[in-house]
Structure 1
Amino acid sequence: MTVDMNEFWVFGYGSLMWNPGFEFEERQPAHLFGFRRSLCVRSWVHRGTEERPGLVLGLDYGGSCRGVAFRIAPENRDAVVDYLRERELVTHVYKERTLSAMLGGGRRVTTLAYIIDRAHQQYAGSLSIDEAASTVSAAVGKSGRNIDYVRNTLAHLREMGIRDHWLEHVGRAADDLHARLPA
């Protein structure tokens, strides 16, 4: 398989899959190798606060990740990159990288992706299901409740036929804990 360097693709593995926020010409299922989807970022802005951080997804080293690749029109490239930098690099917990991904049909493309910076203070590392669920069930940030972020992500993963067993367990446990919170 060859990589077409003239095309510009963006890889989404979390909220970008269901809320890209930019124009695209094509959307394809994509598989990224060497990184996995992980609820490993303490969110101080969108899904929590510094006092009560939430958790959002990051691409962490190891494994592989099924997600979505968006092909961007050449004339929109700069605007999309600017938008993504503003969205993803708020606290610089992510690093911008170009990574090879395989589209659903087996074609390899170069994608723009945002991976976790393990040295950043917001990196949560590998959490247990209970630790993650406890955080997710109660955190709220400027973009809403953390539990809604996890629910939306899981719903869209299901729509795409993608199973993320660990995230599914966290979602169920967070729902159970959230149901017990005072109204």
Structure 2
Amino acid sequence: MSLESPERDFIVFGYGSLIFKPPPHVKAQTPGYLKGYVRRFAQKSHDHRGTPENPGRVVTLVHKEEWDKFSQSDAFPDDDVVWGIAYTIDPAYVAEVRDYLDYREKDGYTMETLDIHGIDDQGNDKIIIRNAYCYVGRDDNPSFIGSEPLEELSRTIWSSVGPSGPNKEYLYKLADSVRELSPDSFDSHLFALEELVKKYDEEEKLSLTSESS
């Protein structure tokens, strides 16, 4: 895909639920990745995958250098690529889609512009889209919770439920969707969380089976 002009097209990059639940009025979509960022479950969700009393966790983007400042014990120090999908919106519906996304991402996110990378036929990195819009949860917003131990984080995701459904459903859909983006797409932090939460599912299933027998 050639470089897009932000004056011609409204392009939004999805790295969380937008991957498996795209915005309306998409005329084109392109898998790609951001460089120099990490995707982490560092954002409290009071309105979708949790409640004000028991907030769930959803992903946000954090610049790798910023994340390193307050996450010295991160188990995945080498992650600095975030795979997702760049959606080009039909120009006739840009205002409608902007309003839709602003509401959907209202809990602690701000919009920024970032370059999207891809891999060419020779296997080399290149910028495929410049200045795509992206909703980023800044570390100075009230919903940003920062780094948590993986075991604690996975337990919160496993047990939390909100108006949009179980928090673990969000995790599972995101992990599956990232795997399907490209033969090169990966996210070691995401996949490690998925493995832990699925382990809790299996433990619960075995416990219920034992109780009923």
Structures share fold, TM-score greater than 0.5: yes
Which residue type is aligned with residue 37 of structure 2?
F
- How much has 1:88 moved relative to structure 2? 0.3
Residue among 121, 128, 140 paired with 2:161: 140
What amino acid is the match of 1:28?
T
Match of 1:40 in 2: 42
1:79 to 78, 89, 96: 96
- Give yes or no for contact 1:133–1:177 (8 Å, CA) kept in 2: no
Q: Percent identity?
A: 28
Which deviates more from structure 2 when the two are superposed, residues 113-122 or residues 76-85?
Answer: 113-122
Of 116, 119, 124 in structure 1, the residue corresponding to residue 140 of structure 2 is: 119
The 1-side partners of 2:119 and 2:51 are apart by 37
Contact 1:8 1:110 in 2 (8 A): no
Unaligned runs of 5+ in 1: none
User: CA 1:74–1:104 in 2, change beyond 3 Å: closer, same or farther?
Assistant: farther
| Partners of 1:31 and 1:65 within 8 A in 2 | yes
Determine the C-alpha separation between the residues in 2 that align with 1:101 and 1:134: 33
Matches within 5 A, 1:22-171: 22-62=24-64, 63-89=80-106, 91=107, 93-103=108-118, 106=126, 107-161=128-182, 162-171=185-194
* 1:67-107 deviations in Å (ceiling 9; x for gaps): 11011121111111110001001x3x111112222355542
Provide the residue aligned with 1:4 in structure 2.
5
Distance 1:4 1:97 in 2: 16
Separation in 1, partners of 2:188, 2:81: 14
1 CA distance for matches of 2:103 and 2:94? 14
Greater strand content: 1
Deviation at 1:174, TM superposition (A): 1.2
User: How many Å apart are 1:35 and its aligned residue?
Assistant: 2.3
Q: 1:137 offset after TM fit, Å?
A: 0.7
Unaligned runs of 5+ in 2: 65-79, 121-125, 209-213
Whether the aligned pair in 1 keeps the contact of 2:83 and 2:186 (CA below 8 Å) is no
Cα RMSD after superposing both structures: 1.9
Q: Output one character per residue of 1:131-163: Cα deviation in whole Å (capped at 9) or x when no partner.
A: 211101100000000011100001111111321
> What amino acid is aligned across from residue 100 of structure 2 in structure 1?
Y
